Structure 1
Amino acid sequence: MADDSNMNATPESGPDLTFERVFASPSIDGPSPRQAKLSPDGRYLTLLRNRDDDRERYDLWAFDRESGAWRLLVDSEKLGSGRELSEDEKMQRERARIGSLKGIVSYEWTADGQGILVPLDGDLYLAGLDGTATRLTDTEESELNPALSSKSGYVSFVRDRQLWVGQVGEDAQPITPKEADTIRWGEAEFVAQEEMGRLTGYWWNPDDSRIAVQRTDESPVGIVTRAAIGATGTKVYDQRYPVAGSANAIVELFVMDPDGGNRVKVDLTSSQDPELYDAADPNDFYLARVDWAPDGRLFVQRQNREQTVLDLIEVDPATGESSVLYVESAASPDYWINLSDNYKFLKDGSFLWWSELDGYGHLYRSFQGLRYRAGDTADPALVGTYLPIIPTTRQLTTGAWVVTKLVGVDQQAGRVFFTATTEQDPLEQHVYSTALDGSGKPTRLTEPGFTHSASMDKGAKTLLITRSSHDQPAQSYLADADGKRLAWVEQNALGADHPYAPYLASHRPAQFGTIKAADGMTDLHYKIVTPAMAPGKKYPVFYHHYSGPGPQIVTRGWDGALQQAVVDKGYIWFELDNRGSANRGVAFEQPLYRAMGSVEVDDQRAGAEFLKTLPYVDGDKIALYGWSYGGYMTLKQLQADPGLYAAGISGAPVTKWELYDTHYTERYMGDPNTVPEAYQAASALPDAAKMTDPLLLIHGMADDNVVFENSSALIAQLQEANVPFEMMLYPGYTHRVSGENISPHLWNTIFRFLESHGVTPPE
């Protein structure tokens, strides 16, 4: 349970934090640098820093570690053309969750450390350390997925669905053919970008001599006619969107020279096990990851359609022939494979691998791949399944905690660096190191009281660590390999000149605790932030939730000023991570298997019932708010428990899982053609008329992720059943409804809705 000692307090002086100020510039959270990188020689630290007068515009800055001086390398406003981005680039940015950002959103150092490739306003520039910049392209089309080759001899990008390559400083030429509009070269398909965390579709080998290139045929994918309704008109897009149970794009992989010559097709199908893949449609698989090892070997990770098997395939780049090196099955029969970027191919031919085989995500080091079919002597539940067994595999980490990121590997010193939760407290993440040979125990390199993220230079000699707590916005610093701080990158101290300083007096501390899940056994973590309360009075609750697989909502990190603005209005902020959320292990996530919209409802109900036991909570004024999966869950909770909640806000909800994409939906729910009953039970449409509590429905009318049809289907159901509800639609906005003016409008709308239904603080 929570420590209630700080719940009651006398209100402090100071201005209330408004939604207008929360989303205005400069950012009230302080600077928020992105894409911090060390130069190849380690001298310079570069990062993208947002402006004081425009929190969403980023420029490129460099810190000289020898002189200790910062300087602006590329001013995005002075250098940029202001040209509007292509629709393809806008959609790619949506997939990368950076759709609201302006200016420079990515960059790449040259191998010799003398220049930086900078994409800006759809074109490419080569910036020098002296502040000069050479324009490499000048076209109306956007140069998508720009990259330098491994040795920086070439620059490459995708334009007009072809891969273009040219020597740095010279004109690029297309090296793949121009085909039908449904054929794309060098681009990741929609589900790879949206659900698999793979944003690129081509990969350079270590010596610049060969490129692996994806060819995508979208012709089998169904078309969703998306009406992007804007303020001054409507644009209609025929979007190739693979809904659950339908055909995916056909993905092929080719290896070619930098000029497109010596092209060979990679064999991705002959090595498929017919019992694990669809023999009738061998192209029905997912190209999960593609990587070149330091010695020039090419590796592919392939998932079956059900996402219960992940193959690691070794490819001969000269012939395209392939063989399966390693097969991993899901950690339990009713589970799935969670894809990861936590792997690395080492110089000695071994590789590091992240797996949930023992029930928690941990690191392994493997030297040789082998698989076997479990026989009659194995556990009966496993007979006939494929199991990974590598005699020379060493498990580097173990325990009831989760490795969240492989940060770096110092192969010379034999050390592995990673971030992980702790067994004692899954709400904090720390940076650790451990021996590459598996000896000894991990060593924590960061201090308690914060949650951390980290990255490293290529040699894994220097750490770049970002940390925050509920009372401290994000700070970043450089540290040596033992975690000793060398220099602040962004101290972001809450001094008198910090944008949040005027509101510090009324900042309310978070309280953390646990309750039992609906099963009566599992601990669920919650966070509660209360306003300064008068004794004897009861307060309304703003119950923020996501509830779905993936994100961990409750952490000890800084959550931004939004929740403090809600608390300043006199509401209690509450959030709870139900079973199915991340970073608690396989058994904690597994209950969602083919049962979305069930266990989450039960666990969040337990949260509401817990709130009603607190003496300072007005149990008749608990309002639900969720976006995306959280919006879906608001609907399911209102349907399951009429009267338990005072009101619900549902933002961009999935209402029928047959309308959402294949890779995400089928991972948890299976194929709707084979388990239609699971989809029927999970739908938010059949019981729509059971919602009797006030409902506010919000959706961006150009949403290409959770398409607007989800909300229009719900609207029709409610209208036909004569069920009252309210809605706020945002013309021209996608799944991300945000901006300096739009965000305050959205949040003011939410609280006007609550006030109109009496969900208000005490007088």
Structure 2
Amino acid sequence: MIFLRPVLRLATGAAPRHQALPVARREALRKPILATALALGTCLAAPLAAQSVTNKQETAPMELTFERVFASPSLDGPAPRKAKLSPDGRYLTLLRNRAEDKERYDLWAYDRETMAWSMLVDSEKLGSGRELSEDEKMQRERARVGNLKGIIDYQWTSDGKGILVPLDGDLILARLDGEIVRLTDTEESELNPGVSDTGRYVSFVRDRQLWVGEIGKDAAPVTPKEGEDIRWGEAEFVAQEEMARLSGYWWSPDDKRLVVERFDESMVGVVTRAAIGAMGTKVYEQRYPVAGSANAVVELYVMDPDGQNRVKVDLGENTDIYLARVDWSPDGEALYVQRQNREQTVLDMLKVDPATGKTSVLFTEHAAMKDYWINLSDNYKWLADRSLLWWSERDGYGHLYLFRKGKWTQLTKGEWVVTDLVGIDQKKGLAFFRGTKDSVLAPQIYSIPLTGGKPARLTDPAFSNAASMDKNGQTLLVTRSNDDTPPQSFLADQNGQRIAWIEENALDASHPYAPYLASHRPVQYGTIPAADGTPLHWEMVTPEMAPGKRYPVYFYHYGGPGPQIVSKAWDGALRQAIVDGGYIWFALDNRGSANRGVRFEQPIYRAMGGVEVADQKAGGEYLKTLPFVDPDKIAIDGWSYGGYMTLKMLEADPGLYAAGISGAPVTKWELYDTHYTERYMGTPEKDGAAYAKSSALADAVKITDPLLVIHGMADDNVVFENATAVIAEMQAANVPFEMMLYPGYTHRVAGEKISPHRYNTVFRFLEAHGVTPPE
């Protein structure tokens, strides 16, 4: 599921642990990093942001419109992405968006010797302008970067002399002396490009085959072409969409071998997806495994870089499994494969002999409790001595464990969770992680010895923090924000002490948000009890209120498993624009959402659309007790799972809410994919009663409150059939509703013009139904 909320929380850095967005893996940062960062000093931030921090500006309020919220430059300030240091530590590279086009990124580098910034790759100048292939468009959607333009990723070569840059479906090698080598120039897109660990080879997927070639030489396919339904070197649909696994091949550390995925999706059902556009319709026959149906059959092969000496990995007799993760041991002598059962209650760690493909089970992870599932994670690391730092929910909370010589040692514990493994310094025996030990609303970065002990907090609790590290765990790249501070990023040492700003993003007079600071409103936080007494966190922002007057509420919700909505991180300008319009912003995290432990998530097991609806109802009833809230003007809005929640909330409690907006809703779980849906709901065949109860279709005719349905007409995630199903039910029963469709748009209905249109539509709808601020 994507589009978790209308405002991206840029400051949090990493996605929730079982959301489909994977934790980015940073390039190697070697010993010179400390000297490099010290040499950079505050000069790092100079081309990107002013140096002084000013939290309040004495300026007259300006009207914050939806048009300005989504225009360039971004009101969040500059948003550098994928900051990395070169292998020799001389250069800091990052992707920087343009002031005139906040969604277009170019590759920039800072040279510590000359102390100068330069643009290494101009995405407009060097781009071909070719339209991306449908496969690449869909991969970008699943990687949650479908809205970005220009350069979205890059990779340093191991010698530090060049950078592999995918651009407009082709591959470019950018040399630091300014030379640009175009590695490919084809009409087809080169998918999943990569440089092998030693930097000798470039690899990519083209036309369902894996291609490999030495840098500077022509690449050639190293796997056979076997028809439309068999692909090599790619991750299958559910791996990309739901398992946070976007890769389908993995190089050994010495480049002598690579392991490649082959999947056959001929048995997967076909969904005829009509991508309805403004000037025509394209019809796609898409392999889409709906709940209870057949998945693709996945195989693994180990081979030489030229495709020879191919060996099949023994994944077991049962082919109805999920290939969760694949890793080489640091010495390249073994492979480790995580195999998850179809029910997602058992995860086997397989040790593979790459010479023969034979496997053995190293250990097995089981669901933490009955009627629960296993949340996949990237929070693990194989160490040089073949021990493993591992994340598990086995004690009821997500914590770190060390597996060494067949024995387990729990490193972190308590009624809080580790959300991300940030890095490891194996020489010093230190692990760095992000967690909620001090606050579930403002995660912090910590270190802990691999021998165990008390975690040491490294970041400022006044901010919500995220971080990544270099390969050797020497230096932190910290990203932080809070309700009054947009995202900032800096380099820090192992103790969390700042070495140099990467982007200070100071809220001074030159900041894009400065004209709107005068009306910036504080955020209030609190809790209310669920039916079982569990505290539920909420956040609220109120406009300037006149005594004795009551105000309407824009009640945002997501509600589904995974995302945490309530946070003390910067929430961008959209929320403030809504408050500037005279509405109270309100959001609440119900049971079933992330970062509160197993028992907090478990109640949605075989019961989607139940406890979440009840918890959000508690939020609505709480709002009605507040003297400044107009109890007859509480409007609910949600997207994706949140769109589903809008329907279920209106069906369950007619009259409680003044109106509802349902964006891209799942309306029938039989229409959604296997890995996501079956994790919580089982299969329609075995758990039919649960599916029937969770459906938003059967009770749609009971909706009596004003409803606006919004959907992209080319949605490949929550397919458009979900919307047509519910509107057909309501039409057949003569139940009124309103609808706004977006031709050509997928699940991501967003853009500089489309986003304002969407939100203007929402608030015109509310105005038409009397959900308006007081006179």
Q: TM-score, normalised by structure 1?
A: 0.93
Deviation (angstroms), 1:448: 1.1
Deviation (angstroms), 1:130: 2.5
Q: Which residue of 1 aligns with 2:697?
A: 685
Contact 2:59–2:515 at 8 Å: present in 1 too?
Answer: no
Q: Say which of 439, 449, 452 aligns to 2:462.
A: 449
Identify the structure with bigger relative contact order (alpha carbons < 8 Å, sequence gap 6+). Answer: 2
CA distance in 2, matches of 1:538, 1:44: 56
Q: Secondary structure at the match of 2:608?
A: coil
Q: Secondary structure at the match of 1:203?
A: strand
Q: Which residue of 2 aligns with 1:642?
A: 654
**Percent of residue pairs bearing the same amino acid type:** 73
Deviation (angstroms), 1:41: 2.4
Q: Say which of 460, 470, 474 aligns to 2:483.
A: 470
CA distance in 1, matches of 2:239, 2:774: 49
Q: Which residue of 1 aligns with 2:194?
A: 147
Q: How does 1:122-521 map to 2 (within 5 A)?
A: 122-270=169-317, 282-296=318-332, 297-369=334-406, 392-422=407-437, 424-438=438-452, 440-519=453-532, 521=533
CA distance in 1, matches of 2:271, 2:413: 45
Q: Deviations over 1:146-203 (max 9, x none)?
A: 0001111100000000000000000000000011100000000000000000001000
CA distance in 1, matches of 2:85, 2:374: 33
Q: Which residue of 2 aligns with 1:3?
A: none
CA distance in 2, matches of 1:176, 1:545: 46
Q: Which residue of 2 aligns with 1:600?
A: 612
Please tell me whether residue 617 in structure 1 is matched to residue 654 in structure 2.
no
Q: Deviations over 1:337-389 (max 9, x none)?
A: 000000000001101100000111000110134xxxxxxxxxxxxxxxxxxxx
Q: 1:301–1:335: structure 2 CA closer, same or farther, 3 Å change rule? A: same
Contact 1:12–1:506 at 8 Å: present in 2 too?
Answer: no
CA distance in 2, matches of 1:533, 1:64: 51
Deviation (angstroms), 1:223: 0.4
Q: Say which of 564, 575, 595 aligns to 2:576.
A: 564
Deviation (angstroms), 1:37: 1.5
CA distance in 1, matches of 2:760, 2:249: 44
Deviation (angstroms), 1:65: 4.2
Deviation (angstroms), 1:600: 0.3
Contact 1:40–1:458 at 8 Å: present in 2 too?
Answer: no
Q: Which residue of 1 aligns with 2:598?
A: 586
CA distance in 1, matches of 2:299, 2:139: 20
Deviates more, 1:507-516 or 1:128-137: 128-137
1:289 partner letter = R
2:245 partner letter = R
Please tell me whether residue 535 in structure 1 is matched to residue 547 in structure 2.
yes
Deviation (angstroms), 1:295: 1.5
Aligned CA-pair RMSD:
1.0
CA distance in 2, matches of 1:559, 1:68: 33
Contact 2:398–2:597 at 8 Å: present in 1 too?
Answer: yes
Q: Say which of 88, 113, 126 aligns to 1:41.
A: 88
CA distance in 2, matches of 1:13, 1:629: 39
Contact 2:390–2:403 at 8 Å: present in 1 too?
Answer: yes
Deviation (angstroms), 1:33: 1.1
CA distance in 1, matches of 2:116, 2:378: 34
Deviation (angstroms), 1:549: 0.3
Q: Secondary structure at the match of 1:393?
A: strand
CA distance in 2, matches of 1:38, 1:399: 35
2:521 partner letter = R
Q: Secondary structure at the match of 1:30?
A: coil
Q: Say which of 137, 152, 160 aligns to 1:113.
A: 160
CA distance in 1, matches of 2:762, 2:462: 33
Contact 2:275–2:714 at 8 Å: present in 1 too?
Answer: yes
How many residue pairs get matched?
717
CA distance in 1, matches of 2:627, 2:111: 55
Q: Deviations over 1:660-709 (max 9, x none)?
A: 00000000001111010000000000000010000000000000000000
Q: Which residue of 2 aligns with 1:85?
A: 132
Deviation (angstroms), 1:42: 2.6
Deviation (angstroms), 1:321: 0.5
Q: Deviations over 1:98-130 (max 9, x none)?
A: 001100001001111111100000000111122
Deviation (angstroms), 1:66: 5.0
2:88 partner letter = D
Q: Secondary structure at the match of 2:275?
A: strand
Q: TM-score, normalised by structure 2?
A: 0.92
Q: Secondary structure at the match of 1:561?
A: helix
CA distance in 1, matches of 2:117, 2:447: 30
Q: Say which of 61, 76, 101 aligns to 2:108.
A: 61
CA distance in 2, matches of 1:339, 1:648: 33
Q: Deviations over 1:529-556 (max 9, x none)?
A: 0001111100000000000000000000
Q: Which residue of 2 aligns with 1:388?
A: none
Q: Secondary structure at the match of 1:672?
A: coil
2:63 partner letter = D
Deviation (angstroms), 1:46: 1.3
Q: Secondary structure at the match of 2:642?
A: helix
CA distance in 1, matches of 2:405, 2:301: 26
2:410 partner letter = Q
CA distance in 2, matches of 1:568, 1:152: 52
Q: Deviations over 1:423-471 (max 9, x none)?
A: x521011111010122x21100001111011011111111100000011
Contact 1:620–1:645 at 8 Å: present in 2 too?
Answer: yes
Q: Which residue of 2 aligns with 1:707?
A: 719
Deviates more, 1:26-35 or 1:603-612: 26-35
Q: Which residue of 1 aligns with 2:585?
A: 573
CA distance in 1, matches of 2:619, 2:94: 41
CA distance in 2, matches of 1:128, 1:108: 12
CA distance in 2, matches of 1:133, 1:549: 45
Deviation (angstroms), 1:311: 0.6
Q: Deviations over 1:687-742 (max 9, x none)?
A: 00010000000000000000000000001000001000000000000000000000
CA distance in 1, matches of 2:394, 2:459: 27
Q: Which residue of 2 aligns with 1:652?
A: 664
Q: Secondary structure at the match of 1:546?
A: coil
Q: Which residue of 2 aligns with 1:633?
A: 645
Contact 1:226–1:238 at 8 Å: present in 2 too?
Answer: yes
1:285 partner letter = I
CA distance in 2, matches of 1:652, 1:36: 33
Deviation (angstroms), 1:14: 1.0
CA distance in 1, matches of 2:91, 2:455: 30
Q: Secondary structure at the match of 2:572?
A: coil
1:242 partner letter = P
CA distance in 2, matches of 1:65, 1:662: 50
Contact 2:213–2:219 at 8 Å: present in 1 too?
Answer: yes
Q: Deviations over 1:245-289 (max 9, x none)?
A: 00000000000000000001000015xxxxxxxxxxx11000000
Contact 1:45–1:62 at 8 Å: present in 2 too?
Answer: yes
Tell me, which stretches of 5 or more residues in structure 2 are unaligned?
1-57
CA distance in 2, matches of 1:130, 1:399: 52
CA distance in 2, matches of 1:362, 1:37: 28
Contact 1:42–1:457 at 8 Å: present in 2 too?
Answer: no
